[in-house]
Structure 1
Amino acid sequence: MGLVVGGVLDVGAADPWASVAGGAAGLIGLAVTLYAFLGPAPTAAAVTASGTRAVAAGGSIGAVSTGDGTSTTPPPPTTPGSPTRPASGPVTASGERSVAAGGDIGSVSAGDG
């Protein structure tokens, strides 16, 4: 807006308009920041496991074994400080021996050994 006024009128008249536009942009930025900090809290993702031996986790799963007489090899250790990804939506494992995670899955064995 300040540039338009400066282009149409003159640079001296654009200065107050640019000040007003900058102040308005600052107030809008402050309002958006306050909303981000004080706005509604994110809701937890729904985690559901339905089915024989089904496994569901809202975060990461290291090792899972759903079969008879099976074992899983544990995944390699994570680097300290490496972030785990939380679920961003619903996590559902529905079906026999199904496995679902909102984050990473290291190792899964769903068969019988």
Structure 2
Amino acid sequence: MAAVNGPSKTLLWSGIGVAGAGLIALLLVAFTDLGKADQIASVVGAVLAAVGLGLSLWAQFGRGGQAAPVEASGTRSVAAGGSIGVVVTGDGAQATAAPPAMPAGGPAATGPVTASGERSVAAGGDIGSVSTGDA
């Protein structure tokens, strides 16, 4: 399971807090007036269902498929929208037998990733090992 970071983690804990507070409030009302608790639960349930539907639709379609443009121009240039393990662009240079361990970083870039010079390398995420010179 992937770790939740940044705004997603905040939203997750906010949702858990609101749900917990709502549950406690409904239990308190249920012990004093069961009829009133039933009415409140019906209205709150309908509102939360509508909000959940809206959030689901936004998560599915609201981002507009914003893929980060990735460009590589120039002799032997390399560009990647995510992490790069090993890159070798030099004459006679060879990749190591086992790539080094990738650092634990954040998510890939959301903006453009461009490598525009001879043997240039750009990554939207982490870079493990790069060799752009001749061996």
- TM-score (normalizing by structure 2): 0.53
Q: Any conservation in 2 of the 1:93–1:99 contact (CA below 8 Å)?
A: yes
How many residues are aligned here?
Answer: 102
Q: Any conservation in 2 of the 1:74–1:107 contact (CA below 8 Å)?
A: no
Q: Which amino acid aligns with 1:99?
A: V
Matches within 5 A, 1:81-100: 87-100=109-122
Q: Any conservation in 2 of the 1:61–1:103 contact (CA below 8 Å)?
A: yes
Q: CA deviation at 1:18?
A: 4.3
* Structure 2 Cα separation of the partners of residues 103 and 20 of structure 1: 45
**Structure with greater Cα Rg:** 1
Counterpart secondary structure, 1:106: strand
Relative CO higher for 1 or 2, CA cutoff 8 Å, sep ≥ 6? 1
* Structure 2 Cα separation of the partners of residues 74 and 111 of structure 1: 18
The runs of at least 4 consecutive aligned structure 1 residues that moved more than 4 Å come to 10-14
Counterpart secondary structure, 2:44: helix
Counterpart secondary structure, 2:57: helix
How far does the alpha carbon of each residue in 1:66-99 deviate from its partner, in whole angstroms, 9 at most, with x for none? 2233222143499xxxxxx765332111333221
Counterpart secondary structure, 1:20: helix
Q: Any conservation in 1 of the 2:85–2:100 contact (CA below 8 Å)?
A: no
Higher strand share: 1
Matches within 5 A, 1:1-113: 11=33, 14-15=36-37, 16-76=39-99, 87-113=109-135
Structure 2 unaligned residues grouped into runs of 5+: 1-21, 102-106
How far does the alpha carbon of each residue in 1:33-56 deviate from its partner, in whole angstroms, 9 at most, with x for none? 133234454222111123443211
Identity of aligned residues (%): 57
